[in-house]
Amino acid sequence: MTVVVIGGGVVGMATAYELATRGVDVVVCEQRSIGSGSTERAAGGIRAQFSTPINVELSLESMRVWDTFEERFGIDIDYRQIGYLFLARSEAAATRFEEAVAMQNNRGVPSEVLEPDSIRDHCPGVDHEQFVAATYSPTDGVADPHLALQGYAQAAADEGVDVRTQTPVVDVIRTDAGRVTGVETPDGRLEAEFVVNAAGPWAGEVAAMADCELPITPKRRQIAVVEPGQPVPETDPLTIDLESGTYFRPDRDGDALVGGHVGDADPACDPDGYDRSMAFPWAVEALETVADWTTYFGPESAIKRGWAGLYAVTPDETAIVEETAPGFVTAAGFSGHGFQHAPATGTLVAELVTDGELSLVDPTALSSDRFKTSSARVERNVV
């Protein structure tokens, strides 16, 4: 069996690797260089604190790989379980926290709801008096997406995966009966029993080539690297104020990454022509907002650099993993969760291709059919 994977980011390479370990001949078509899309611009967060069961389950399956990545792949991805700390300013948000933590705990996540006085035990720089509650899980953390991609790419190559960079897919081949049988590239046609759409922000365009319509929108997100007035300890968690939509996490040498929804947040854009540089006015507003609820940042803080990247967003901010058309598998729309959920996604796609069904999770939760009703629950998505 031959499978063509469209997209050489971490989701595409994890998928290629998992397929190859099951004896599948895999060709990866990447229009630029490996990881040049969303992966190279990811913040690297890994968490199980989600508000929907399907995302918790994807996280737990993926964490089993992240926890043992160096042992499996021989590369240290700088995986640090510093925790995630979510902050609530209203009683309504606190109630949602309690519901989410109960659901997470039922699935084995060691998250907990915190009273305001306990917030500073985990992050001393937060002005805890502004908040009514928080949630924290010690097993959440961060890793280096570039190193993880390197590990998957090398492992895929060792398994015989044919990775073709500078090879855009210009069309998806379908029979008169509607089955996908391969792709067209500038170098010619590639025949395949399955084609996997792991094209991230380009996934909607790729789906259209297969005469499929998917609600996946590329949206621009930004991150700033900041030298704070007071160094941020490396042990601080990734900390999010849900109401303002801003967050920070420790970086190197006391610096911090600052991001979130401020200003003209998350505009839809052309994935081929968007501005990849950080907008300085956005960075100033984000920094000022974070400074309002922390003691680390103030007038003496300096914005050192930053960048912009793309999320591939669905209406409920949860991925689509399914056989969208006969022979055409979608693994996209992760809405900012693609890096952290890549290991589980690779396994799910391998199941779809080799077994014809999903066993790890409820397939309806990842099916695009869910958008035909109004019952899909939106995931809280800040980072």
Average predicted confidence (pLDDT) for the chain: 95
Do 107 and 179 reside in the same domain of the chain?
no
H-type helices in 107-202, by residue range? 116-122, 145-158
Do 32 and 172 reside in the same domain of the chain?
yes
What is the Cα–Cα distance from 226 to 152, expressed in whole angstroms? Answer: 30
Number of domains in the chain: 2
pLDDT per residue over 302-314, tens digit each? Answer: 999 999 999 999 9
254, part of any domain: yes
Check residue 34 and give its pLDDT: 94
Phi-psi region of 245 (alpha: psi -120 to 50; beta: other; left: phi over 0): left
Q: Which of 297, 313, 329 is the last residue of a domain?
A: 313
Domain that holds residue 307: 81-140+218-313
| DSSP letters spanning 61-110 | HHHHHHTTHHHHHS-----B---EEEEE-SHHHHHHHHHHHHHHHHTT--
What is the domain-level CATH number for residue 301? 3.30.9.10
Cβ of 71: how many Cβ atoms within 10 Å? 7
Do 55 and 149 reside in the same domain of the chain?
yes
What is the domain-level CATH number for residue 189? 3.50.50.60
Q: CB of 85 within 8 A of CB of 136?
A: yes
Q: Give CA separation, 53 vs 15, 59, 106, 264, in Å.
A: 22, 10, 10, 30
Task: Give the count of alpha carbons within 13 A of 1, CB side only.
Answer: 15
Do 196 and 244 reside in the same domain of the chain?
no
What is the Cα–Cα distance from 344 to 142, expressed in whole angstroms? Answer: 17
Check residue 267 and give its pLDDT: 76
Residue 265 clears pLDDT 90, i.e. is over it: no
Q: CB of 72 within 8 A of CB of 367?
A: no
Do 153 and 133 reside in the same domain of the chain?
no
3-state secondary structure of 303: strand
Check residue 380 and give its pLDDT: 62
Cβ of 198: how many Cβ atoms within 10 Å? 32
Do 303 and 234 reside in the same domain of the chain?
yes
31, part of any domain: yes
pLDDT per residue over 75-124, tens digit each? Answer: 999 999 999 999 999 999 999 999 999 999 999 999 999 999 999 999 99
Do 210 and 231 reside in the same domain of the chain?
no
Residue 377 clears pLDDT 70, i.e. is over it: no
Do 363 and 285 reside in the same domain of the chain?
no
pTM, 2 dp:
0.96
